[in-house]
Structure 1
Amino acid sequence: MSAQPAATSPAPATPQALIDSLKDLLGERLSTSAAVREQHGKDLTFHQGFPPDAVAFARSTEEVQAIVQLCASHKTPIVPFGTGTSLEGHIAALKGGVCIDLSQMNAVLEVNSNDLDCRVQAGVTRKQLNEYLRDTGLFFPIDPGADASLGGMTATRASGTNAVRYGTMRENVLGLTVVTADGRVIKTGGRARKSAAGYDLTRLFVGSEGTLGVITEIQLKLYGIPEAISAAVCSFDTLEGAVNTVILTIQSGIPVARIELLDEVQMGAVNRYAKLDYPDKPTLFFEFHGSKAGVEEQSESVAAIASEYGGSNFAWTTQQEERSRLWQARHDAFWACKGLKPGAEGWATDVCVPISRLAECILETKKDIAASNLLAPIVGHVGDGNFHLTYLIDPKDPDELKRAGAHNDRMVMRAIAMGGTCTGEHGIGYGKIPFLQAEHGEAVSLMRTIKQALDPDNIMNPGKVLPA
C-alpha cells in the first residue's frame, strides 16, 4: 500500500457547448483563465494539483442547480470549492470538468437565538459567522484552524481544537440544502434537535466530500458564549508525560474545551514563527469554558494532574488578547513547520485512536520518525485522540518521498490496528484512498452502491473517497 497517489492521466476537455451555456448563465462569473483554474485545482499541501476546465462562481442554490443540470446533461465532472484549505487533494479536478466556487454564497440567512441555531449559505466562513453573531451572546465552536467555509467544513466533516467539548461538524449540523447529481434540490433534517423520520440523509452528506451532491445551505447548532474562558500552557520534559496528562484529564471527566499537544519540534517552530518564548519542549495548550469558579477549578485540577507527569510552568490567563495570541500561534502551526525547512513542501496527515491508546500510538510514531530520518513535527487535538504531523519534504527527492510515504503507511495502519481511523478530520480526498478499504472492509462496497445510486454517471468530484 502506498499513501502517495499515482499521477492521473490528462483531463478531458469540457465541451465548448457547455462552456457557452454556462457563459450565458453566469456571464463574467464563469472563468476559463489559467490562473483562476490553477488556483481552484490545488490545495495547501504537496498533493499534485489538477485544474478544472472552467470555474463557475455561483450566488444562489438556483444557480448551482442550473450549473449542475447543464453539467449533468453533458456528463461533465463537477468539483465543489469553498476556500481551498483542504489537505488531501479534495479540490483537484482529476477528470477536468467544472469547478463550482461557492465563496460568493456568503449570506447568513437566519439566526434563531431562542433555539440556538442558524442557517447559512455554504460560502460563509466560520470567522464570518462568529463576527455576525458577536452581539448576540452566541458563537459557533467548530474551529479547524483555517478560516474555512462552512460548506467545505460540512463536506469534509471538519473538526478542530474545540471538538473535545463541542463535537465535530457531524454533531453540529441539523439540516442541509443539497443539489444532487441529477439537479434536484433537496432539504434534509430540520431545526428540531432530534427526529425519527426516515433515513438520516443529513449524516449521509456530511463528510461526503462533494461526491454525492453540492451542499448550498447548512442549518447549524449555536452555543452561548461562556461566562468565563481561560487558556493555559504547560511544558513537559517528555512527550509521554504530556500525553498521559491528556489521558488522565479526559478520564477524570474534567470538562476541558480544548487540549492541544505540540511536540518539541513543533513547539520550537511555533516559538520562532509567532515570536513566543515558551521552552522548546513537549507542550500542552488548554482552554477551559464555564463559570468563573468552574474555570478556576478546572485549571487547578489539570495543573495538579500535569504536575504528576512532570509538567512545569503551568500558566493560565483569562485575558482575551493573550488567549487569541496563543491560539493564533497554534493555528499557524503548518506555516511555522514550513519555516523549519525553507523550500520544502508540507505533507499534512492525521490519525485518530481511542484515548487509551493515544500515548502508545504517538510514541511509536515519534520513534519511527527518528528511525526514518524525517523532519515531521507532531501537533494534535489530543483531547479526542486525534493527532497530526507534517512531513517537510522535497517533492523532487524520490527517496525522501518514499520514506515519508512508508512512514505514513505504518502510522495509519498502526492507528487502524488500535481501533482508530486513517483520518480524524482531514478526510479522504484522493490522498488517503488506499486506506479506506483497510479501515472499512466490506462496507466500502456499500459506499460504492450509494455513490452509484446517487451519481450513476460519476460526475460529482470523481476520483475522491472511493477506490477506483
Structure 2
Amino acid sequence: MSIQSAIAELSLVLGDRLSSAKPDLELHGQSETHFTTMPPDAVAYPENTDEVSKIVRICAAQDCPVIGWGAGTSLEGHTSAFRGGVCVDFSRMNKVLVVNAEDMDVVVQPGITREDLNTDLRATGLFFPVDPGANASIGGMAATRASGTTAVRYGTMRDNVRALEVVLADGRIIRTGSRARKSSAGYDLTSLFVGSEGTLGLITELTLKLQGQPEAVASAICAFDAIEDAVNTVITTIQMGIPMARIEFVDSATATAFNIYAGANMPEVPHLLVEFHGSDTSASEDARRFGEIVDDMGGKGFEWSTKAEDRRALWAMRHNAYYACLALRRGATALVTDICVPISRLAEAIEETRADITNSSIPGPILGHVGDGNFHAILLVEPGNTKELEVAKDLSHRMAERALRLGGTITGEHGVGMGKLDYMQAEHGDGWAVMGDIKRSLDPKNIMNPGKVLKLN
C-alpha cells in the first residue's frame, strides 16, 4: 500500500482532474504565514460528492493522507501536507444549490466563496453574514469554525450552519442536521464537524442560515489616546445594549500601516472601527449614541457615515490589514496568532501583549474583533531568520498562556492547525484525549488531515 498506488488509481477516476504538476503542488503546499511549504503528492479536483467519496475510499485503501482545500486562506498550517498525500481542491464544487428565501436559508457546495455567495443572494434581499475578512471558501470557513468582523452581531460559523453533508474517512456519505431551526434528535454531529479542520471528514454540502439585508448601514471611526479607553468604550457600548454589527480595534502600529498602505490619514494611536445595521432611524440613532460614549471616554475624531462608498473604503482597509502590516517591513513574512478572552479582561490582555512586543526585537501590530474579546498579533519576521522566528513563537506562546490565565482560549477564530497544537492540552486537559478518541473512532487510519488539531501516532 502506498501514496503512489493511490495516485495511480485516482488518475483512472479523475483523468486530467488529478494533477501532479509542480506549480499545482507548490501552490497547495503554501501557507499564508510563516510555515514552510509542504506540498502534497497530487491535487484532486472533484466535481461532486460521489467523486469525493471515491477519492477517499481509494486513499483509505492505500493509507494515503487526504487534505481538504478551499481557498488557501488559513493561517495555522491547516492545509500543509507534511506527510504528503492527496489534496482535495473544492474549487469546482462552487455552486449555490438551493435558495429557500421564505425560510431564510441556502444550500451550497463547499468551494463557493463568501463574496460569490453574497453576490448570488443579492436579488433575494438576504445575505450570509459571517465575514472573516479574507474571501474564504464556505467549506473552509465551516471546517475552521471561522467568525470575523460581524460575529459580535451575527455569530460565528457554529451559529450559522444548520446542516452538512460529509464524506467520512471510509468514504461513507452522511448528512447531519436539517433545515429546521432546532432539533433535539440525538448528538449534534453538525457542531462536531464544524471546527474539525478536515480531521474527521470532508464537507461536501452546507445548509446555511441567512439574514435580511439591513435597510440602512452606518459606519464610524474614532481615535483614542490609550488602549484601555478604546476597550472600555466597547464594554460600555455592549452593556448599554447598542446593537453593533461590527466593532474592530486597531493599535497605533496598525494605524501607521493603514496610512502607508491605504493612503489613510489616521492619527497613529489606537482606533475603533464600527458599523451599525438597522432602519434609517435606528442605525443613525445607534451611531449617535455610540458617539456620546466615545466623547465620555475621551475619544477623538468621531466620524460616521451611511454612504456606501465610505463604508466600502473603511472595511476594505480593515480587510487588507494583514497585507498593510506586512508592508511595514519590506520582504517580511509573519507569524499571525490570535487569542480570545472575556471582554472584561481584554484591555489587560492587549496591554500585556503590546508591552511584550515592544520589549522584543521584532515589530508586531495588534488588531481584532474586540466586540467578542478576540484579537490578533501580526508578528513580522525576516524570512529564513530563525532567531526572529523563535522570538515570534515565544511571543505567541506568551499570548496563549495569557489567554488561559485570563479565562480565555488559545484561538478565537484561526483554529489549531499545526501552529497551536502545543497548547491544546493546557486548554482542554483530558478533553483533548476525548477528541483523540473521537478521531480514532471515525478515522482509525489517521488519513484525514493528519497532524492537525491532535497529535496521534
TM range (shorter): over 0.9
Map residues 201-220 of structure 1 onto 2, 5 A cutoff: 201-220=189-208
Partner of 2:104: 116
Counterpart residue number, 1:8 = none
Q: Specify the alignment match of 1:95 in structure 2.
A: 83
Hey, what does 2:339 align to over in structure 1? 351
- Identical columns (%): 55
- Please point out which of 125, 135, 144 is paired with 1:156: 144
Deviation at 1:374, TM superposition (A): 2.3
Query: Which letter does structure 2 place at the counterpart of 1:109?
Result: L
**Displacement of 1:387:** 0.3
Q: Does 1:332 align with 2:281?
A: no
**TM-score (normalizing by structure 1):** 0.96
The residue number in structure 1 matching 2:441 is 453
Give runs of aligned pairs for residues 372-387 of structure 1, distance below 5 A.
Answer: 372-387=360-375
Pairwise CA RMSD: 1.0
Look up the match of 1:10: none
SS in 2 for 1:105: coil
Helix, strand or coil at the partner of 2:408 = coil
Distance 1:98 1:467 in 2: 20
Which whole-Å CA distance do the structure 2 matches of 1:37 and 1:217 have between them? Answer: 25
8 Å CA contact retained: 2:3, 2:63: no
CA drift at 1:402: 1.9
* Structure 1 residue identity aligned to 2:146: A
Deviation, structure 1 residue 373: 2.9
Number of residue pairs matched? 456
Counterparts of 1:268 and 1:379 in 2: how far apart (Å)? 12
2:122 match: secondary structure: coil
Distance in structure 2 (CA, Å) of the matches to 1:259 and 1:15 = 47
What CA distance in whole angstroms lies between the structure 2 residues aligned with 1:367 and 1:251? 28
Shift of 1:440: 0.5
**SS at 2:124 equivalent:** coil
Q: Which residue of 2 aligns with 1:136?
A: 124
Unaligned runs of 5+ in 1: 1-12
The AA in structure 2 aligned to 1:92 is S
Deviates more, 1:246-255 or 1:321-330: 246-255
Q: Does 1:250 align with 2:250?
A: no
The separation in 2 between residues aligned to 1:278 and 1:399, in whole angstroms, is: 33
Q: How far has the Cα of 1:467 moved from its partner?
A: 2.6
* TM score, norm. by length of structure 2: 0.98
Q: Is the contact made by 1:434 and 1:467 (CA closer than 8 Å) also made in structure 2? A: no
Q: Which moved more, 1:163-172 or 1:359-368?
A: 359-368
Which deviates more, 395-404 or 53-62?
395-404
Secondary structure, in 3 states, of the residue corresponding to 1:436? helix
| Structure 2 spans left out of the alignment, 5+ residues | none
* CA displacement, residues 410-460 of structure 1 (integer Å, 9 cap, x when unaligned): 111111111100000000000110011111111001000000000000000
Q: Which amino acid aligns with 2:141?
A: M
Whether 1:342 and 2:330 are equivalent positions in the alignment is yes
Match of 2:354 in 1: 366
Q: What CA distance in whole angstroms lies between the structure 1 residues aligned with 2:126 and 2:119? A: 10
2:394 corresponds to which letter in structure 1? A
Task: Determine the C-alpha separation between the residues in 2 that align with 1:137 and 1:375.
Answer: 43
CA contact 1:143–1:159 (8 Å) conserved in 2:
yes
Is 2:295 the partner of 1:307?
A: yes
* 2:165 equivalent among 149, 154, 177: 177
Counterpart in 1 of 2:413?
425
- Counterpart of 1:52, as a letter, is P
Q: Distance in 2 between matches of 1:236 and 1:115?
A: 43
Whole-angstrom CA distance in 1 between matches of 2:454 and 2:4: 29
Candidates 388, 393, 403, aligned match of 1:400: 388
Native 8 Å contact 2:47 2:93 kept in 1: yes
Secondary structure in structure 2 of the residue aligned to 1:63: helix
Match of 2:245, SS? strand
CA distance in 1, matches of 2:32, 2:412: 18
2:234 is equivalent to residue 240 of structure 1 = no
- Paired with 1:18 and 1:31, the residues of 2 have a C-alpha distance of 13
Residues 49 and 89, structure 1, Cα contact 8 Å, conserved in 2: no
**Letter aligned with residue 359 of structure 1:** A
Displacement of 1:14? 4.8
Once the two structures are superposed, what CA deviation does each residue of 1:288-327 show, in whole Å capped at 9, x if it has no partner?
0011111111111111111122211110000111101110
State the partner residue of 1:294: 282
**Alignment check: 8 A CA contact 2:2 2:63 kept:** no
Q: Secondary structure at the match of 2:102?
A: helix
| 2:259 is equivalent to residue 271 of structure 1 | yes
